[in-house]
């Protein structure tokens, strides 16, 4: 279908304003513009029982985490959520609205992780930060009021990439069975050259130039692109990974690689739910204040988590 009217309106507003694409800005300028754009398109922040900022040990120093608690109940299942932004942009604050919504609607703790960003900290720093945060939550479940037997990971865009990579590390650990993985338009192949990558070149949307800009900041050697922790689609074996919900968008250069990852998970015997949102573009998941499909996708994500966290 054509680009959805709600996104078409947003696209036209960007074109009229002459806003520079993020990939044409400095990293500092792009970070500020990204946060402003996400806040402008988000719904009003949802009130929760408690939101707490913590500092935890990480492989490169302390990591900031934010814990969203929807109720006083203990123990609650927990979702480790990794924000998007091409491993270069984004922060705990850019994911604040959607983490509040997921906590409230899924009835779980949500812990979002302030992992290190590129280019200051290139691959694989972010992956190891995200994995360390998962291990920390599992190890401190009692004090957090979390159920260590009901943990999941998730993220959007680069955050989806990081969530998928963390499942590979958790599988290798062997002592932590994850209940699920929520992958929203994830980057799964740093070397992708498919139809959706070639076709999405609109300068007023996230496009293949955006993908290349982020990749240049994140990866430092050609071999990095083939590493499974950077390109989970290139992992030799996906068997034994947690059940997945994969969300893709029709007008997204990452669409085909996300759907290819869902197909490979299914072929490896992993339960997978795949939904392509027609008329949507990359980034829609955070636009809960202006895009109806963002709210629908959020409801779908919450249902998936509730199902995965339900007692067997």
H or E element, residue 305: helix 292-309
Our answer to whether residue 282 is catalytic in this structure is yes
Instruction: Report in angstroms the alpha-carbon separations of 143 from 23, 138, 208.
Output: 42, 10, 44
CA atoms in the 13 A half-sphere facing the CB of 191: 12
**For residue 263, what is the DSSP state?**
H
- C-alpha–C-alpha distance, residues 117 and 90, integer Å: 8
- C-alpha–C-alpha distance, residues 239 and 260, integer Å: 15
User: What would the two tokens of residue 20 be?
Assistant: 């520079």
**Which is it for strands 76-82 and 244-251: parallel, antiparallel or unpaired?**
unpaired
Strand partners, 152: 79, 180
Our answer to whether residue 227 is catalytic in this structure is no
Q: Where are the alpha helices (DSSP H) in 107-181?
A: 125-139, 141-144, 158-173
**Catalytic hit among 37, 91, 157, 196:** 157
The strand ranges marked E within the chain are 50-58, 61-69, 76-82, 109-114, 146-156, 180-184, 244-251, 272-281
Q: Where are the alpha helices (DSSP H) in 178-268?
A: 195-199, 208-218, 255-267
- C-alpha–C-alpha distance, residues 146 and 77, integer Å: 6
Residues carrying an active site annotation: 157, 252, 282
């Amino acid at each position: 279908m054509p680009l959805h009217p709600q996104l078409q309106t947003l696209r036209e507003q960007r074109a009229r304003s002459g806003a520079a694409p993020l990939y044409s800005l400095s990293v500092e300028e792009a970070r500020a513009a990204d946060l402003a754009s996400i806040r402008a398109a988000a719904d009003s922040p949802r009130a929760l029982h408690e939101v707490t900022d913590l500092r935890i040990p990480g492989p490169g120093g302390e990591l900031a985490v934010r814990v969203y608690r929807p109720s006083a109940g203990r123990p609650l299942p927990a979702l480790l959520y990794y924000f998007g932004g091409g491993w270069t942009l984004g922060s705990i604050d850019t994911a604040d609205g959607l983490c509040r919504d997921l906590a409230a609607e899924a009835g779980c703790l949500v812990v979002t992780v302030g992992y290190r960003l590129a280019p200051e900290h290139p691959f694989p720093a972010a992956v190891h930060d995200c994995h360390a945060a998962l291990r920390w939550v599992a190890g401190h479940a009692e004090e957090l009021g979390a159920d260590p037997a009901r943990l999941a990971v998730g993220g959007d865009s680069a955050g989806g990439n990081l969530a998928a990579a963390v499942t590979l590390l958790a599988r290798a650990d062997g002592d932590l069975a994850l209940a699920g993985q929520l992958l929203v338009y994830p980057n799964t192949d740093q070397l992708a050259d498919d139809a959706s990558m070639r076709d999405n070149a609109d300068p007023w949307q996230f496009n293949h130039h955006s993908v290349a800009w982020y990749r240049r900041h994140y990866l430092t050697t050609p071999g990095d692109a083939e590493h499974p922790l950077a390109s989970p689609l290139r992992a030799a074996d996906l068997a034994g990974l947690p059940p997945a919900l994969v969300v893709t968008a029709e007008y997204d250069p990452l669409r085909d690689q996300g759907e290819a990852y869902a197909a490979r998970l299914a072929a490896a015997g992993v339960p997978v739910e795949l939904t392509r949102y027609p008329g949507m573009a990359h980034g829609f998941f955070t636009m809960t204040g202006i895009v109806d499909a963002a709210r629908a996708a959020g409801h779908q994500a919450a249902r998936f988590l509730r199902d995965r966290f339900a007692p067997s």
